Each structure stands twice: as structure tokens, then as C-alpha cells.
Structure 1
Amino acid sequence: MTLKHLQVALGLFFISIMLSSCEAIRVVTHEVNKSPQVLNIGSYKSDPTHVSVIFKVNHFGFSNYVGRFNEIDANLYFNNQYPDESRISAIIDTASVDTDNQLLDAQLRGPNFFDVEIFPKATFIGESIILEDNNHGKVIGTLSIRDEEIPITLDVTFNGGAKNPLTGEDTLGFSAIGTFNRSDIGLTAWLPAVGNTVIIEIEVEFIRQNNG
């Protein structure tokens, strides 16, 4: 085989790979429905591989330092006809805090902050929902950390729902953001060098459970 023939063969080979990749992408491409009324009512649970709770706090005024929790269990009762009557709750494993800094993670787990041996869980209970339109609203609820409770309002975007093209399961997607002052629940370590206001950002996919 000449060099020219080899180049042609390699070109055809890579083109075939790209086409096969496009075919794979095309197969799983789908559309989500952003109208709650046409989606299935029922109980949903967060997909553990597609849920994140990220927190941000100001660091010396230079930037927002970012961390996350890796273990979250959230439950949603979704009312498709009356979305404002839906209900949501979540449990966060505080020991799963992850800042990509082992020393800081150990300090956050310790008695001066989350004190995970005594308070292994943080919880959120949604108490009311205020709709702004079909895809936006506010969830008003209570956040509990170290057995201290604080009201918090989450601005929520409903990203849509559909059957997951990989699993065939009914799936709903949401994004949310909220803030609270950590000093209100006794988390005062490193103030004021590390900011008091905590920004919470949530991304979650809920999977419909067996609803009979």
C-alpha cells in the first residue's frame, strides 16, 4: 500500500468513526417537555448520579470558594395538575462535604463546624411553593444543620421532564439557588475572613418510583 492509499484509508476510517458516533448521539437525542400538566403525577426520588448541592462563600473578598456535598437523598411528590401542591424534602450527609482540600474537609467535619459525628445529617423540608409560571417558582422551607433551623427560599427552575432515553424511566429535572447567613445557625468559624452569606446551588434529576 502506498502512502497515498494509506492516507485515504485512514481518512475513511476516521470518517466512519465520526459517523458512527453521530449515530449514537442521534439515537439518544430527545426532547424534554416543559409543561408539567402532561407529565406523570407521583413520587419521585433523586438520581444519586445526577444530583449536586454546591455551596459558595466569599474568601477574603477575592472570590467565592466552592464546595459540594456528594451524598444527597431527595424526595419529591409531583402534582402535575397543581404543581404548587407538590412537596419536596432532602437529607444531606454532612460527612460527604468535599472542597477538594483534605485538610479543609477535615476541619469542616470537625466540632467547630458541621460536627458530623454528632450531627451526621442536614435536612431541608419544603413547606410551600409559589409559582411564577410553568417553569419557575419559589420553594419556601426550613433548612436544619446541627439541629438548628433556619428558613430559606429557593428560586427554582423546572428544566423539563421526559422518559430518560437511556433508562426509559420518567425523569424530571430542576435547578435551584438560595442563600442564607451561616451565623444564624451558629456556624461562625473563620468570620469575617470567610463570608457569612452562603450561596446554595442545586442541580437534580428525579426518577419516578413505582406508583402502582
Structure 2
Amino acid sequence: MKTILLASALLAAAALPSFAQGLVTDGAKVEAGTYTIEPEHTRVRFDVSHFGFTKYDGEFRKVSGTMTLDPAKPDASKVDITIATNSVMVPNAKLKEELDGAQWLDAAKFPEITFKSTKVVATGADTADVTGDFTLHGVTKPLTLKVKLNGAGVNMVNKHYTSGFEAKGTIKRADFGVKTYVPMVSDAVDLDIDAAFEKTK
């Protein structure tokens, strides 16, 4: 049994370098086309300052959306993301209940958080500023995300062509009508997103 496990580990290790070498990190070389969010490996995290003592973080677990990518014309690329409001997860069960409620996100009344890009500006070989309409708590405001391409290539497990990105941005929740405990719990909310997209056509 140990011999089989060792052989499997060696085979996996041998496969990794060739897979890594196949990854594209230059945005101009990523395959053009239409992509769909791969939800199992996409995370939308956030953190706030809690009474100035610590940062408190959480994440949204249900994310869907599409991306149209044109490396030859980055400004023609588009992304459209939808997050289920009630998928917010935090370490404290009582806080999770509060966040879902009317005092905070009001998930029953506003079941979706969305981002629809309006402008894409390449800032480097693997970076771009993506500006769009961000809707939270029924309010829509412009938001610019700093986006970096992690890599693109064929996923060695499911064989789907995949592009992975990280994105960062900051919103002021009071601008969206979520004012509970401001400023003790910070108005500024930092967003940290890891998104995987699979090519569909």
C-alpha cells in the first residue's frame, strides 16, 4: 500500500511542473472567448475594522457570473457577477443571522449583490483596472477593482480551459445604506476576490 501511495505522489509531483509551465501569465496570450464562473474555487472575502481592535472578516459562498474576454482589445472585455446575499458566512452564528437581517444586508429584501463592468483598462501585462456598477442593499455605485491575472491554461483535473484572477477594492458601506455601528465598525469594507472562470465558447 505504501508503495502505491508513494508512486502516486511521485506521479503527481512529476505532473505539476509541466502543468505550471503551461500556465499563461501574460494577459495578451489568454484565450479569447466567453467564460463562466467556476464557483467551487471562487471566493469573495471582505474585512472591516472592529472597534479599532481587530480586523473582522467573512466571505460570500455563492457566486455566479460570466466574463467575455478579448485580449486583443482589453477595453472590449466585460464581466458580470452575481452574489447571493444570504450566502454571507462569518465565524459567529449570531452575527451571521444579524448580517442577513434588515439592520445589515437585508437578504430577504435584497437577495443579490451584483457587479457589472462598464470599463476595462489594462495597466500592465497581467493587470487591469475594472470599473463597474456595484449594487448592494438596493443601491448602485461605481466601483473600481484592481485586477491581476494569476494564470490561464487547461485545468489538469477537469480539462477545462480556465483563467484565474485576483481582485481588490474598497467600498464605503454607508454609501449603500448599511450604516449600522459606523464608525465603531468601519465604514470602509475591503474586498479581496479570487475568481476562477472556465471557458464555455
Q: TM-score range by the shorter chain?
A: over 0.9
Q: Which residue of 2 aligns with 1:23?
A: 11
- Deviation per CA, 1:98-144: give whole Å up to 9, x if none: 00211001000001111111110011111101111110111111210
Q: Which residue of 1 aligns with 2:28?
A: 37
Distance 1:16 1:166, change over 3 A: closer
Residue from 119, 143, 168 that aligns with 1:177: 168
Q: 1:81-92 residue pairs with structure 2 within 5 A?
A: 81-92=72-83
**Contact 1:36–1:81 (CA under 8 A) maintained in structure 2:** no
- Report the number of matched residues: 198
Distance 1:180 1:89, change over 3 A: same
Shift of 1:28: 4.6
Shift of 1:181: 0.7
**Contact 2:28–2:125 (CA under 8 A) maintained in structure 1:** no
Q: Which residue of 2 aligns with 1:50?
A: 41
Q: Does 1:67 align with 2:58?
A: yes
Q: Which residue of 2 aligns with 1:132?
A: 123
**Contact 1:114–1:146 (CA under 8 A) maintained in structure 2:** yes
RMSD: 1.5
For the residue of structure 2 that corresponds to 1:115, the secondary structure is coil
For the residue of structure 1 that corresponds to 2:148, the secondary structure is strand
The normalised TM-score by structure 2 is 0.93
Shift of 1:15: 6.8
For the residue of structure 2 that corresponds to 1:95, the secondary structure is helix
Q: Which residue of 2 aligns with 1:97?
A: 88
**Contact 1:182–1:198 (CA under 8 A) maintained in structure 2:** yes
Q: Which residue of 2 aligns with 1:3?
A: none
Q: Which residue of 2 aligns with 1:145?
A: 136
Letter in 2 for 1:94: T
Shift of 1:19: 4.3
For the residue of structure 2 that corresponds to 1:49, the secondary structure is helix
Listed as ranges, the gaps of 5+ residues in structure 1 are 1-12
Identity %: 28
In 1, Cα distance between equivalents of 2:69 and 2:195: 14
Please tell me whether Structure 1 or Structure 2 has the larger radius of gyration of its CA atoms: 1
